[in-house]
Amino acid sequence: MKRFYAVGLAFAAVFALSAVVVSAAAAEQALWLENGNEITAKPATDSEGLLVLTVDSFVGHVKIDCEGILDGSVGPNGVDEVTAVLTSGGALVSGTALTGTSLDCTVTESTITSLCETGELAEVWGIKLPWVSQLGELTATEPYSDVLSLSTKPSGYTVFCPIKGGEETCEGNPTSQVKNGVGDVTATFANQKPAEDKCAGFGTEGLVEGEGLILLTSGATLSVS
């Protein structure tokens, strides 16, 4: 089981490593490949990496470092999904925000002190799982462009900071670039399109940056083509 590291206050996919839509002119559908062959089943995946997840508002911002695991699968027609979030120790994170097991995360920077204080431990839950997505058009060169959330529901997270009792829920469609590695696929996240991610309370938008790996749990080679 691989580990997925998150930095900041957005999830999705928070952890998330979902929907892929490519940025250029070719109309050919990009596909997930297993050992170089088009995938026809739904082999299981784990994800590991580093994300910078930030909640911005008119009065400041909050960033949180989280460590955890994303379990999911890739399938035919370029579709993929994240079905579960786990702690770094392998415990299943509750699918219901503010109840049960959470990810224990560290607030690395906060200028919204009514929400979180810098240095405190925050509790984070992924919401609206599964996070479903799809590879888009295949470009002539890598990296390919990836937009989270194929389904009508966006990916999201809820965070609770116990010192002040601050709570925030953010939802949206972070974007990433995917590139073939050695046996895996690297997803590099950048700030998503304006107004794509919204927060319900203190924040006006959630930003996702950083990098992570998508691997097949079988040990087979995963690639995009």
3 state DSSP class of 128: coil
Q: Rounded mean pLDDT of 47-67?
A: 83
**Does residue 126 register a pLDDT over 50?**
yes
pLDDT band at 5 (very low <50, low <70, confident <90, very high): very low
Q: Which residue has the higher pLDDT, 36 or 225?
A: 36
Q: Which residue has the higher pLDDT, 21 or 83?
A: 83
**Cα–Cα distances in angstroms (integers) from residue 168 to residues 94, 97, 105, 124, 159, in the given order:** 17, 10, 14, 10, 5
Q: What is the pLDDT of residue 160?
A: 94
The total number of residues written for the chain in this structure: 225
Cα(93)–Cα(105) distance, rounded to whole angstroms?
Answer: 13
pLDDT band at 153 (very low <50, low <70, confident <90, very high): low
pLDDT band at 38 (very low <50, low <70, confident <90, very high): very high
Q: What is the pLDDT of residue 94?
A: 97
- Model pTM score: 0.82
In sequence order, what are the residues at sequence separation of 6 or more whose Cβ sits closer than 8 angstroms to the Cβ of residue 15? Answer: 4, 6, 47, 51, 66, 68, 70, 82, 85, 126
Q: What is the pLDDT of residue 72?
A: 95
**Does residue 47 register a pLDDT over 70?**
yes
For 121, the domain range is 4-224
pLDDT tens digits, one per residue of 74-84? 999 888 899 99
First to last CA, the chain: 25
Q: Rounded mean pLDDT of 16-29?
A: 47
Q: What is the pLDDT of residue 151?
A: 54
What is the domain count for the chain? 1
Q: Rounded mean pLDDT of 187-194?
A: 66
Q: What is the pLDDT of residue 191?
A: 61
Q: Minimum mean pLDDT among 25-29, 118-122, 201-205: which range?
A: 25-29
* Phi, psi of 3, deg, nearest 5: -110, 145
Q: Cα torsion at 179, 180, 183, 184 (round to 10°)?
A: 20
Q: What is the pLDDT of residue 43?
A: 98
pLDDT tens digits, one per residue of 165-190? 999 888 877 667 788 999 999 888 77
Cα(32)–Cα(27) distance, rounded to whole angstroms?
Answer: 16
